[in-house]
Amino acid sequence: MNEESAKLDVELLGQIAQGDRVAFSRCYDRYSGILFSIVVKVLNDPKEAEDVLQEVFLQIWDKAGIYKRELGVPFSWFVTLTRNKAIDRLRSSQRRFRLLEELKEETAVLTNAGSTFMTDPENRESSVMVRSAVRSLPSDQRQAIELAFFGGLTQNEISESLGQPLGTVKARIRRGMLKLRDALEDHL
């Protein structure tokens, strides 16, 4: 995610706020893949993920006018919207516990599958860097962070799920997040 990309996103949001469907279409092309991947990862249900992605983009259409640059780059806003909606959906379903088990397995062997997150080579490289950074985390730290990010679990739930004291979980998350930040420093 570079500065040029963020600038383009801000422009697109401005146009969407004016009711520009072409801009909306471009925004969809840029982010539907990555956002859909997040939802599928959280819900583990492509059909339900469709509904959530639809809600996300309709919200982008409706709320583009109130987006504020100081709250972060558009990509962060999109991810937050998507993650919140997916986790809300997850919490209202009983698939949560099944997901926990799957996440534990997944974090043990992190996939190398490619992402369609943006099509330009620079962003592909960024995606590869992120994967590499995540892979470089010790498994206990990665597991705690992924349970929070993709599982939507609370601190206590993560502690319970991992069978570790709350203090240990917090410390793992802190160390993991600092490492992640350091590894992604060039992309922040």
Partner 1 sequence: MIDERTEEQASLYALGLLSEQEAREFERELRESEELRGFVAQLKRSADLLATSAPSVEPPPHLKQKLLDQIEQRMKIVPLKKAETLFAPAWFPWAMAACLAVLCAIFFSENKSARQRSARLRDELQELQKQTISLRGETDILQNQVAEFRSKDRLSQLRIAMLSSLLASSPKAVAVSVWDNEQQKGVLVVEHLASLPSDKDYQLWVIDSKYPSPVDAGVFTVDEKGAVRFQFQPKSRVNFEKIAVTLERKGGVAKPEGKMVLLGS
Asked if 154 is part of the footprint of partner 1 (rule: CB under 8 A), the reply reads yes
Is position 79 an interface residue for partner 1 (rule: CB under 8 A)? yes
Give the range of 7-15, 95-103, 152-160 binding partner 1 by CB under 8 A. 152-160
Map residues 91-130 to x or -, x wherever contact with partner 1 holds by CB under 8 A. Answer: -------------------xx-xxxxx--------xx--x
75 is an interface residue for partner 1 by CB under 8 A: yes
Residue closer to partner 1, measured from CB, 37 or 163:
37
Task: Confirm or reject binding of residue 177 to partner 1 (CB under 8 A).
Answer: yes
Looking at residue 165, its amino acid is P
Q: Does 174 bind partner 1 (CB under 8 A)?
A: yes
Contact present, 186 and 176 (Cβ < 8 Å):
no
DSSP string, the chain: --HHHHHHHHHHHHHHHTT-HHHHHHHHHHHHHHHHHHHHHHH--HHHHHHHHHHHHHHHHHHGGG--GGG--HHHHHHHHHHHHHHHHHHTSTTHHHHHHHHHHHHHS-------S-SSHHHHHHHHHHHHHHHHS-HHHHHHHHHHHTT---HHHHHHHHT--HHHHHHHHHHHHHHHHHHTGGG-
- For position 65 contacting partner 1 by CB under 8 A, the verdict is no
Binding site for partner 1 (CB under 8 A): 1, 19, 21, 24-25, 28-29, 32-38, 40-41, 46, 49-50, 53-54, 57-58, 61-62, 72-73, 75-76, 79-80, 82-83, 110-111, 113-117, 126-127, 130-131, 134, 145-146, 148-150, 154-155, 158, 170-171, 173-174, 176-178, 180-181, 184, 187-188
